[in-house]
Structure 1
Amino acid sequence: MEPVIDQACAAALYAEGDAALDTGASLLAAAPEADDALHRRGEEFVRRAWERGWHPADLVRFVRLELDERRAVLAATLIAAETARYGGLPPRWRAQLAELPGAAPRNKPDRFGYASDLLELYRLLLRLPAIEPVGPVPGTAADHLHRPPAPGEPRMLTRIRALLAKAEATGFPEEAEALTSKAQELMARHSIDEALIAARTRSTETPGACRIGVEPPYESAKAILLDAVASANRCRAVWNGDLGFSTVVGFEADLDAVELLFTSLLVQGTAAMTRAEAGQRASGRKRTKTFRQSFLMAYAQRLGSRLADTAERATAAADADTETGAGTAEGTSGLLPVLAARDVAVTETAERMFPRTTTTRVRGATDLDGWNHGTEAADRARMGDHRKGPHGGPRDGEIMA
């Protein structure tokens, strides 16, 4: 049945417009015996996407942004079928596959519509751009897929995840602040411990990278928040607004911290925004979109300075411990030189991956009430900084893009 598939793909994938899709879909709808070959062709397109640097979550996210949820489910179905043949997968791939939407049913009664959806998806997959790779393609360099975990890492990450889950679930801002503060404290301590262990053992580990979705609406504010979280955890974030993600560069333990903390702060910030917006509507205000944009911009900006302060205090405390011998790793000359060397390695890796980044100034915080509410929400999730500072007014944000 390959000739039918070839004819349909030639008709639909290399031309623009609905007429080309209709021609290809008509050929496929009249050939039910070609269904298996049609799906194998889609799995081949998925495999090519991996070779261009894409990961499962990236692919589904992009299909959702460019097409719709229905085609995103079809993409997830192809991804599940393709990756089921692989002998081993990196940990991040396994986590992404576990979160994919459920498989779409095959051989629907509306054969023409189903074939049209598949061909439109294939057209998008065929034209995917190459992006910066963040790890080996499954099935290659197997000995580099898994980093040996540091002592106590699984238990530490489990504890951090539990604290952040409680912070997201509570309806009391003070409790959320305390829980998130404790989680950030554990993250900072874990990162420093990893750096000292690596220095003592003369580890050859180098910085890696991961991609984190930054999707509409209000994606610029979300990108600023992610940039702040990444910077506080000794990582670099580069935003690609067109493809709906930021690439975060850093050492593995720090990448884990960034993913966990960004996701939790976004959940907490969205919940706080919804509560504040409800109060605004109750008082008769109607500027919902500008309120939300300004709220999230303020939330991201305020958290950026608070996270930076928290990171500096955690580092200073740990450095004092090493100076007194409480935490000095054998064979190292102190904490600050160790951290400085890791910062240099992260910067060099990021610049090698993204030699042509630009700093983008982001505007859009025009609602003073939204800004003030967002600032207050950030203060409540301020990572343990109990000092109150003056509230600033709306201002521009900067991110690497």
Structure 2
Amino acid sequence: MKRQIDALVRGAVAYEDGLDRLAVAPAAQVDPALFAALNEAAARLFGGGWQPVELHRAVVRRGGTDRPLLGRAVIDAVAAHLRDFPRRGVDERWLAQAGELDATVWWSADERYVTELAAKHRRDRISAIDDLLELLTVLVHLPKIEVLVPPPGTAPRRSRKSTVDERLLERVRALLAKAESTGYPAEAETYTAKAQELIARHAIDEALLAGLDSAAELVPFARRIGVDHPYEGEKASLLSAVAEANRCHTVWSPDYGFTTVFGFDADIDAVDLLYTSLLVQAGRAMAKAEPPGGKAGRARLKAFRQSFLVAYAVRIGERLARASELALAEAPQRSDLLPVLRSRDEQVRETMARVFPRTVRGRGSRVDSREGWESGRDAADRATLL
């Protein structure tokens, strides 16, 4: 039965013929084999660098929107995989992602998973099998990627972690929430200055303390941040601009819809938080400024949005770079800080080169709408920065 399933998902037999054979075969044979194939495919990917949230996102991106059972089954595969390992042997970031997905073993027995999955989501058994086969087809064609978080069963990361203080994050989130809700640019600018001041001072203090502490074991890491369509390339440019201004470096992987951000944990936390907020602000500003759509204006609307996001990313990059320069100029012990920042940047670059020894410089996005470009720059000038 396992060979029949494998041949079907790899295209060695006609899909409809293969599905019909599974539909008439005894459930006692099909269901355990299908569940085992799902676990085997997921385990290969988890061991090959994929993290729970990333795999779920990749599946949804490749068809799970129209077939929500695919995303749900991936979450179940996370739960099934995780139960094979003691929690102390699983990296805390892997556990956190499983918790974010609410991955739990809810089914009564593995051999009953297909039947209970169909019942839980009010589907007939054949439809559930069809969806699981579609999921397996997606999984078997995903390649291994760079291991950024130790998979379950390997040694969790034990080195000291640099993080943004939670109390600081709460204050910054509160400022961003106010900035995202206000309709007054001057008010947003007030929140901009305060939030930027908080994060910039913390980042500089953290870098200086790490450089002066001979016992510190802080090392750079990487995190993959999802970049959603449409206009993925333009959004990736915005993420790159945010990362560069916060002492991080990025590699954009358009085939999988994520950008790998390299840096120290506290800096990556700031990038993640800021990028998310700026996307919200960009989307809101673009919706207000864009021209009417409709069939006649569809091409114009697309050009406007692309140009808007390109200009927004460029202008945000300029503002962030200037803010970072000002924070550095006003920093105490500046003579001690500069060598530390240079050393940390070298470490980040070395880590990126080790993970991605070969990268290709992407082509810049086209700007076909002057109206969109000018609106994007205006929106960036009003955006709240951390």
Q: TM-score, normalized by length of structure 2?
A: 0.85
Kindly provide the amino acid, as one letter, of the partner of residue 75 in structure 1. V
> Residue 55 of structure 1 corresponds to which residue in structure 2?
51
> Residue 337 of structure 2 corresponds to which residue in structure 1?
335
Mind listing any 5+ residue stretches in structure 1 that lack a counterpart?
324-332, 385-401
Matches within 5 A, 1:225-244: 225-244=238-257
Kindly provide the amino acid, as one letter, of the partner of residue 208 in structure 2. L
Distance 1:352 1:149, change over 3 A: closer
Report the 3-state secondary structure (helix = DSSP H, G, I; strand = E; otherwise coil) of the residue aligned with 2:154: coil
Pairwise CA distance, 1:188: 1.7
Residue 197 of structure 1 is aligned with which of 209, 214, 219? 209
Pairwise CA distance, 1:237: 0.6
Matches within 5 A, 1:1-400: 4=1, 6-15=2-11, 19-20=14-15, 22-24=17-19, 26-27=21-22, 30-33=25-28, 34-69=30-65, 70=68, 71-86=70-85, 87-88=87-88, 89-100=90-101, 106-108=117-119, 109-142=123-156, 144-145=157-158, 147-148=160-161, 153-202=165-214, 203-277=216-290, 280=292, 287-318=300-331, 321-322=332-333, 334-381=336-383, 383=385
Distance 1:100 1:290, change over 3 A: farther
Distance 1:137 1:101, change over 3 A: closer
After the TM superposition, which of the residue ranges 116-125 and 335-344 deviates more from structure 2? Answer: 116-125
CA distance in 1, matches of 2:159, 2:78: 21
CA distance in 1, matches of 2:349, 2:269: 18
Kindly provide the amino acid, as one letter, of the partner of residue 96 in structure 1. Q
Instruction: Say if 2:308 and 2:375, in contact at 8 Å, map to a contact too.
Output: yes
After the TM superposition, which of the residue ranges 70-79 and 113-122 deviates more from structure 2? Answer: 70-79
Report the 3-state secondary structure (helix = DSSP H, G, I; strand = E; otherwise coil) of the residue aligned with 2:150: coil
Pairwise CA distance, 1:101: 8.1
Kindly provide the amino acid, as one letter, of the partner of residue 351 in structure 1. A
CA distance in 1, matches of 2:357, 2:257: 20
- For each residue in 1:46-66, what CA deviation from the matched residue of structure 2 results, as whole angstroms up to 9, or x when unmatched? 121111111112212211222
CA distance in 1, matches of 2:153, 2:187: 45
The count of residues paired between Structure 1 and Structure 2 equals 364
Aligned-residue CA RMSD (Å): 2.7
Report the 3-state secondary structure (helix = DSSP H, G, I; strand = E; otherwise coil) of the residue aligned with 2:117: coil
Report the 3-state secondary structure (helix = DSSP H, G, I; strand = E; otherwise coil) of the residue aligned with 2:118: coil
CA distance in 1, matches of 2:56, 2:50: 10
Pairwise CA distance, 1:289: 1.4
Pairwise CA distance, 1:137: 1.2
- For each residue in 1:26-61, what CA deviation from the matched residue of structure 2 results, as whole angstroms up to 9, or x when unmatched? 415643334355324312321211111111122122
Aligned-residue sequence identity (percent) comes to 45
Report the 3-state secondary structure (helix = DSSP H, G, I; strand = E; otherwise coil) of the residue aligned with 1:246: strand
Mind listing any 5+ residue stretches in structure 2 that lack a counterpart?
105-113
Instruction: Say if 2:179 and 2:384, in contact at 8 Å, map to a contact too.
Output: no
- For each residue in 1:286-305, what CA deviation from the matched residue of structure 2 results, as whole angstroms up to 9, or x when unmatched? 52211111111111111111
